[in-house]
A and B are shown apart, each in its own frame.
Chain A
Amino acid sequence: MGETIIEAMGLCKWFGDFTAVRDASFTVEAGEIFGFLGPNGAGKTTTINMLTGLAKPTAGAILIAGEDGIRHIKKVQQRIGIVPDESNLYEDMSGFDNLVFCASLYGMEKAQREARARQLLAQFGLAETGKRPFKAFSKGMKRKLTIAAGIIHAPRILFLDEPTTGIDVESARQIRKLIQDLNGQGTTIFLTTHYIEEAERLCHRVGFIVDGSVIRVDAIGSLMQDEDQAYRLDFTLESHQPALLEAMSQAFPNIQVSVLDPQRIRLLSPTRVELAPFIQFFEDAQIPVYEVKLVHPSLEDVFVRITGIEIARLKKEKEGQRK
């Protein structure tokens, strides 16, 4: 790691008056899994399209593997693989024929591309399915084959646009494993997602993108460290009322209290918390306490704090679901 392989400088994309991406600058280092995390409509696909040559930036510059990503895009395309947000292979062609065709687009010889197609089908557990036409594949198999097509020419960098969206849980798990394996073999991964847990589990570094702006780019570890400064204690009670929370805030001026659900409240404290006074407090108020849990911060907490957007918005799926 350490070597910059993708550099976006002040990328902008306007569609008429509408700004889809606003002054986006970030770098991706060779060998890492970089995740672009943001809600639907944030500008993730538009950014990938600009980086891969399907869209022209309104302003800004791109450097990929040392090449000008705008002027010499055809040279860049030889070294990158692209997995679009929809599985867009040829419906009537078999899985095998699809892979062989995609290999030929990168100039691979017949024997070489057939061997590579066979190898990838086996590696992705599609050896049998590969003989069927693409339209007969399940969603999860379609996505896997689309990923295989994306790495058919063994690219140095792989772009994946929402690789697990709309896929069953098991296939999604396999796909995350495939992405990690590929990365383990040295492929740099640039992926977008609106699943926080996916970004947290998979990525080394993430960029938060909201309404076209890249708000923060950092390693997962550093993002968490900022958040780790605070201690979270979740209490499960018989019940709670606003008056109780009010009384708590007065009794413990150093902590913040927030409501999680009708039975649970969360205490936020800048320092370590001693439990006895709280238990005493609830006993005095005659409220049974069933559970107390020290909660480690998640990327979700970081995302909400930094972007200020509601978590519900991030989890909202696109309406018209994709194939």
Chain B
Amino acid sequence: MSQLIAFWSILMKDMKNYYLKPPNISWGIIFPLSWTLMLFVRSGSPVDIREILPGVMALSILFGTTSMLAVTITFERKSRSFERLLLAPISLNLLMLAKTTGAILFGVLNAFVPVLFASFLIDLSGIHWVTAFSGVLLIAVTSTFLGLFIAVSVSEVFEAQTFSNFFRFPMMFLCGLFIPVSSLPALLQPLSYLLPLTYGADILKQSINENGFLPAPLSFSVLLAFSLALFTISLRNIKKRWIY
């Protein structure tokens, strides 16, 4: 019970202090909008919104979650308020779950911003919502834990951002978000299969446009495995470096 109170308070504090602050909320809206606009300008012709929707959703989650952890973890660690949490009578597992749950929820919400916009412009019938939602949730969990992994590997906020981009930008091009994996140079294709977002994007493509190319159970399992591995490694790093 007391662990639950602590968990809930940490989550609520992060929400109030970080996630629901205007700059961060707008981040979730401006990013997908500008991304859509960019694709529109580049192709010179009206884009097929439904075609790019899975990619925009996946990117919104990826950028939203990873940027938040640079604040909720790296920044708090730098200002030493994180020590309070480490010194509280809460297990480290629960503490890190509390610190990441906010980012996961934020990622899920971010994913539905472009969906909301799209719903005003095009017909969204025929989407397999349950699968789409599960896909969104799993992408959010995986990229949050990727953000956690990055956040515990650095000590400055700018390092966290730089290190995140090291993962994020390749993912934008290699994970089949806008360029199908099959049209990538043969040399790069194996790399795509090493990145978790490839599997997440495929779930979204399948559930929205029925044009995924991987079996859904495989994609779900790979995302779960990535999440577990990233969380475990991050926790080990925290135990080693922060409780030094």
Using a CB–CB cutoff of 8 Å, the interface residues on chain A facing chain B are 52-56, 74-75, 77-78, 82, 84, 86, 88-93, 101-102, 104-109, 149
Contact = CB atoms under 8 A, between A and B. Distances in A.
A89 B82 CA distance: 9
B89 A93 contact: no
A106 B88 contact: yes
A56 B244 contact: yes
Contacts of A77: 87-89
A96 to B, nearest CB: 13
Given A78-B89, A93-B17, A106-B88, A88 B2 contact: no
Given A53-B86, A74-B91, 14 more contacts: A53-B243, A54-B87, A56-B244, A74-B89, A88-B81, A88-B83, A90-B13, A91-B79, A92-B17, A93-B13, A104-B9, A105-B84, A106-B89, A107-B89
Interface string B78-99: 0111011111111100000000
A89 B84 CA distance: 8
Contacts of B84: 88-89, 102, 105, 149
Interface string B1-45: 111011011100100010000000000000000000000000000
Contacts of A55: 243-244
Contact of A84 (B8, B17, B83, B85): B83
A88 B243 contact: no
A107 B2 contact: yes
A90 B81 contact: yes
Name the interface size band of chain B.
20 to 34
B5 A107 contact: yes
Nearest to B81: A88
A61 to B, nearest CB: 17
Q: Interface SS of chain A: helix, strand, loop or mixed?
A: loop
A88 B79 contact: yes
21 contacts: A52-B87, A53-B86, A53-B243, A74-B89, A77-B87, A86-B80, A88-B79, A89-B81, A89-B84, A90-B81, A93-B13, A102-B84, A104-B6, A104-B9, A105-B6, A105-B9, A105-B10, A106-B2, A106-B6, A107-B5, A109-B5
Interface string B30-62: 000000000000000000000000000000000
A88 B86 CA distance: 13
Question: What 3 pairs across the A-B complex have the smallest Cβ distances?
Answer: A107-B2, A104-B9, A105-B88
A78 B124 CA distance: 52
B243 A54 contact: yes
Contacts of A52: 87
B155 to A, nearest CB: 16
B79 to A, nearest CB: 7
B193 to A, nearest CB: 39
Contacts of B80: 84, 86, 88
Nearest to B92: A74
Given A54-B243, A92-B17, A101-B13, A108 B5 contact: yes
Nearest to A80: B87
Interface in B83-125: 83-91
B161 to A, nearest CB: 20
A119 B90 CA distance: 25
Nearest to B244: A55
Most A C-beta atoms less than 10 A away, residue of B8, B9, B17: B9
A287 B244 CA distance: 62
A78 B8 CA distance: 18
A74 B90 contact: yes
A308 to B, nearest CB: 31
B87 A82 contact: yes
Contacts of A91: 79
Contacts of A86: 80
A106 B5 CA distance: 8
Contacts of A56: 243-244
B87 to A, nearest CB: 5
B35 to A, nearest CB: 30
Contact of B17 (A53, A54, A89, A90): A90
Nearest to B13: A101
Nearest to A103: B9
A80 to B, nearest CB: 9
Contacts of A54: 83, 86-87, 243-244
Contacts of B6: 104-107
A75 B243 contact: no
A19 to B, nearest CB: 15
Nearest to A77: B89
Given A74-B90, A88-B84, A93-B17, A107 B79 contact: no
A79 to B, nearest CB: 9
A18 to B, nearest CB: 13
A105 B80 CA distance: 16
A105 B17 contact: no
Nearest to A109: B5
Contacts of A108: 2, 5
Contacts of B243: 53-56
A117 to B, nearest CB: 13
